[in-house]
C-alpha cells in the first residue's frame, strides 16, 4: 500500500501527490493508491465561458488549496455531502481563504435518468450568475424531481425562485453548446479515473489527489490542515 506524508506530523493524505497517484478508499481508513498517467489529470480543468466558471466557484482565487467537487445532482450521497459536510467545509476553510471549491459535472445518467437535465439547468443558471442558488435548490428538492418523468416544470419553478431571466434560460436550455460542456466534463473526469459521486480532486500547487465519498468534515480536516501547512508554512 502506497501512502504519502505531507508536512510536519506526517498526516496521511489522499494520494502520492506529484507522482500522479489517485487514492481509493472504502471507509475513512487507510488509503490505497493506484497509478494514473499524469496526462489524465489535464481534463479536470472546467470548460465553458469564463463567466460560467466563475459562477460555479466558491472562495478566493488566491486560496492555496483548490477542491474540485465532482458531483451528480441526482446522487443521494452528493446530497448528503451538501447537507452534512459542505456547510462546515465552507465555514472552516472556504470563508477564511484557505480553500476554493470548483464544481465539475458528472451526471451518471445510466442510473439517474434526470441528472443530465439537472446539470444543463444548473449550467444555464451559472450563465446568469446563479449557479450556487440552483445547486442548493436541486439538492434540497432532489427527492421530488428525481422521481418525476419530466422534472422541467419543477426546474422552472426553481428558476423563478432564484430570479433567473426566463428568456435567457429558455434560450440556454436548447443550446447544444451547454450540453457539450456537461458531456466534456463528464468524459474528462472519467478519463482521470473518477467513477463515482461525489468525488473530490484536492489540488495544492501542481499536486493533485482524489478523495472519493461523502465523508464527514472530521475526515477532511487533517488533509486540508496538512496541505495548508505544507503550502503556506502556517
Query: What would the pLDDT profile of 97-126 be if each residue is shown by its tens digit?
Result: 999 999 999 999 999 999 999 999 999 999
Does 92 have pLDDT greater than 90? Answer: yes
Q: Poorest-confidence range of 29-33, 54-58, 80-84, 230-234?
A: 29-33
Quick one: average pLDDT of 177-201?
Answer: 90
- Identify any residues that bridge with 104 across adjacent strands, giving them in sequence order: 70
- Residue 26 pLDDT: 27
Task: Give yes or no for residue 133 having a pLDDT over 90.
Answer: yes
In the chain, % of residues over pLDDT 90: 64
More confident site: 90 or 30: 90
Measured distance CA(44)–CA(234) in Å, rounded = 28
Give yes or no for residue 19 having a pLDDT over 80.
no
Spatial separation of the C-alpha atoms in residues 228 and 234, rounded to whole Å: 7
Is the pLDDT at 7 greater than 50, yes or no? no
Residue 20 pLDDT > 70, yes or no?
no
Residue 203: all three cell numbers together? 489540488
- Which residues have CB under 8 Å from 36's CB, separation 6+? 20, 21, 22, 192, 193
| DSSP, residue by residue, 2-25 | ---EETTTTEE-SS-TTTTEEEE-
Instruction: Tell me what the pLDDT averaged over the chain comes to.
Output: 81
Crossing angle, helix 152-162 and helix 131-140, to 10 degrees? 130
Q: Residue 173: pLDDT above 50?
A: yes
φ, ψ dihedrals at 226, nearest 5°: -65, -45
* Distances in whole angstroms, Cα of residue 134 to Cα of each of 4, 68, 119, 174: 37, 18, 10, 18
Pairing of strands 207-212, 199-204: antiparallel
Cβ–Cβ < 8 Å for 82, 126: no
Residue 61, domain extent: 5-232
The DSSP bridge pattern shows strands 99-105 and 65-71 to be parallel
Domain count, the chain: 1
What CATH number is attached to the domain comprising 205?
A: 3.40.30.10
Instruction: Decide the pairing of beta strands 21-24 and 32-35.
Output: antiparallel
Over residues 33-78, the pLDDT tens digits come to 222 333 344 445 555 555 677 899 999 999 999 999 999 999 999 9
Amino acid at each position: 500500500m502506497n501512502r504519502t506524508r505531507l508536512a510536519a506530523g506526517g498526516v496521511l493524505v489522499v494520494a502520492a501527490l506529484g507522482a500522479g497517484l489517485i487514492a481509493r478508499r472504502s471507509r475513512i481508513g487507510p488509503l490505497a493508491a493506484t497509478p494514473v498517467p499524469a496526462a489524465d489529470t489535464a481534463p479536470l480543468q472546467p470548460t465553458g465561458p469564463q463567466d460560467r466558471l466563475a459562477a460555479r466557484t466558491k472562495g478566493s482565487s488566491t486560496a492555496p488549496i483548490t477542491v474540485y467537487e465532482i458531483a451528480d445532482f441526482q446522487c443521494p450521497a452528493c446530497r448528503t455531502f451538501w447537507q452534512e459536510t459542505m456547510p462546515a467545509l465552507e465555514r472552516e476553510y472556504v470563508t477564511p481563504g484557505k480553500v476554493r471549491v470548483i464544481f465539475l459535472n458528472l451526471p451518471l445518467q445510466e442510473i439517474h435518468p434526470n441528472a443530465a437535465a439537472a446539470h444543463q439547468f444548473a449550467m444555464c443558471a451559472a450563465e446568469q450568475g446563479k449557479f450556487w442558488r440552483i445547486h442548493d435548490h436541486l439538492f434540497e428538492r432532489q427527492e421530488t424531481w428525481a422521481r418525476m418523468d419530466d422534472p422541467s416544470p419543477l426546474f422552472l419553478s426553481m428558476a423563478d425562485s432564484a430570479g433567473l431571466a426566463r428568456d435567457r434560460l429558455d434560450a440556454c436550455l436548447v443550446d447544444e453548446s451547454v450540453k457539450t460542456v456537461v458531456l466534456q466534463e463528464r468524459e474528462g473526469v472519467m478519463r482521470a479515473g473518477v467513477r463515482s459521486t461525489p468525488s473530490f480532486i484536492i489540488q495544492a500547487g501542481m499536486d493533485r489527489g482524489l478523495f472519493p465519498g461523502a465523508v464527514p468534515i472530521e475526515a477532511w480536516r487533517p488533509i486540508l490542515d496538512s496541505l495548508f501547512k505544507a503550502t503556506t508554512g502556517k
